[in-house]
Amino acid sequence: MTSMLRLSLLALSALALSSPVLAQEAPGAGATVRAPDLYGSGAYVTQIGAGNRATVTQRQGSTSTAAGVAQFGSGNVARVTQDGESQFAGVVQTGEQNLATVDQDGEAHNTAKVIQTGGQNRAAVTQTAVNEANAALVLQTGFQNRVALTQDGSGNSAILSQTGDDNAMTVDQTGANNALVWTQVGSGLAGPTVTMEGNRSMTIIQTGVR
């Protein structure tokens, strides 16, 4: 793990304990934080490089919500939207032209972390919590990998890891207590949409080149 990545992860972890809005921008980059006066909420953005874009929106009525974005490289885009209580989102992008989108809603604690290393990776995470927290971790290393994850329910978890190029994952978790670990190591790997509708546990490992 590079020192930059380690520092960014520490900063995102520390954010959960802080409340002020903090933005640091590099020349040619842009950061937008939209956060009304929310109790116990905060946003952190750091950018090193050119042409990075980060937008964090914390909607009126959200409480104890935290978001952090760290971008190293150029042309990376991160969008975080949070509505509800006790949401946490962290995005770390290292490389060029990566795109990460996180949308969180609900009255329970959602947690989403997206870490992208390489170029032109795409990750979209949508979480809606009902009673218990949903948790998502997306790791992308390489080029042009794609992840689309939807969690709608309670107590769902997903760990999605891609290493290589042109890999694709699509996951829909509904209901409660689904758990998925999906690993792709190689290039051109994909599969049908994984649909989990409650009390399901699954591990998928894909390797090779297609």
pLDDT of the residue at 16: 43
pLDDT of the residue at 191: 83
* CA dist., res. 192 & res. 190, Å (int): 7
* CA dist., res. 184 & res. 190, Å (int): 8
Over residues 131-150, mean pLDDT: 96
pLDDT of the residue at 84: 82
Calculate the average pLDDT of the chain. 86
- Domain encompassing residue 25: 3-209
Please report, rounded to a whole number, the percentage of residues in the chain having pLDDT higher than 90. Answer: 67
pLDDT of the residue at 98: 98
Question: Binning pLDDT at 50, 70 and 90, where does residue 21 land?
Answer: very low
Total Cβ atoms within 10 A of residue 192: 6
Least confident of 16-30, 36-50, 134-148: 16-30
Q: Determine the distance from the C-alpha atom of residue 153 to the mean position of all C-alpha atoms in its chain, rounded to a whole number.
A: 18
Question: Binning pLDDT at 50, 70 and 90, where does residue 97 land?
Answer: very high
pTM value surpassing 0.85: yes
The number of folded domains in the chain is 1
- Residue tagged 């329970």 (tokens): 108
